Amino acid sequence: MGRVILIASGKGGVGKSVFTSNIGATYADRGLRTALIDMNVGLRNLDIYMGLENKVIFDTADVIDGVVSVKKALVRDKRFQELYLLATTQKKEKFKAEPADITKLYKYFRENFDITLVDGPAGVTDDLKLAATDVDAAVLVATPEYVSLRDADMVDQTLRKCGVKQRVYIVNKVNKLYLSSGILPTVEVITSIMKIPLLGVVQFDDNIHLSANCGIPIVYGQSSYIERNFHKIADRLLNY
């Protein structure tokens, strides 16, 4: 039985989708059957970050409405051993899912994949609560800024109330120079704001930004410190 893990955040633009694509690619490259579900209904991004935008024909709304099977809607990323994407609809009004539909959808993924990463929406919204239905765990993504951390903590509390028991967080876009400057929150402050375990940190690196915009997860075919970092985070996430 596989696991379904939600990637969430308080603020937008903190790096959820980039994190989802890279951790997913990392697992897939290890031979784990890996699926990515974009649940940012109306504002899908993962397809572009994976360079798969021209291959998407069907989306979450088609699956929920029973127009196509999940299998048919999945797009395979052939660069990696076992990586599949279910894109979401760009027409929010088309998406009429109830929690029971999401339960059924995630059941399919648990039965057919080792790991499913759900790229969720930012903030405390009904879409977040829907995406969190029955997930096995959640990773909160925050940046080292007070607003981002406080909002991530609010989302964490919401997820706890939704019954998500396993919750961890990562800090993305970390610039070591600023971290020790005293202007931005230090690691001590960060861990005091967040009440859940810290899974790891990802540095701010323009290469991450550039490769995402080329549709290439940075972990693809690289042997950089960034790739090693993602591997460490992927290991720890497997143990939660």
Ligand X SMILES: Nc1ncnc2c1ncn2[C@@H]1O[C@H](COP(=O)(O)OP(=O)(O)O)[C@@H](O)[C@H]1O
Which residue, 122 or 164, is less far from Mg ion as judged by CB?
Answer: 122
9 near ligand X, judged by CB under 6 A: yes
Candidates 6-14, 24-32, 107-115, 160-168: pick the segment binding ligand X (CB under 6 A).
6-14
Q: Which residues pair with 79 in a beta bridge?
A: none
Q: How far is the CB of 46 from ligand X (least distance, A)?
A: 9
3 binds, among Mg ion, ligand X, none (CB under 5 to 8 A by kind): none
**Contact region with Mg ion (CB under 5 A), list: 9-17, 159-167, 182-190, 231-239:** 9-17
Q: In what order do the strands lie in the sheet with 83-86?
A: 75-76, 83-86, 34-38, 115-122, 3-9, 137-142, 166-174, 198-203
Shortest gap between Cβ of 88 and ligand X (angstroms)? 13
> Could you give the C-alpha distances from 212 to 15, 20, 30, 49, 140, in angstroms and in order?
10, 11, 21, 5, 20
Task: Check binding of 204 to ligand X (CB under 6 A).
Answer: yes
What's the number of CA atoms in the CB half-sphere (13 Å) around residue 63? 28
Q: Is 45 in the site for Mg ion (CB under 5 A)?
A: yes
Contacted by 116, from Mg ion, ligand X, none: CB < 5 to 8 Å by type: none
CB-based burial, 58-75: b 16+ in 10 Å, e otherwise: bbbbbbbeeeeebeebbb
Q: For the chain, how big is the Rg over CA atoms in Å?
A: 17
Asked if 17 interacts with Mg ion (CB under 5 A), we say yes
Tell me whether residue 45 or residue 88 sits nearer to Mg ion (CB atom): 45
Chain centroid to CA 130: 15
Could you list the residues that contact Mg ion (CB under 5 A)? Answer: 16-17, 45
Could you list the residues that contact ligand X (CB under 6 A)? Answer: 9, 12-18, 45, 172-173, 202, 204-205, 208-209, 212
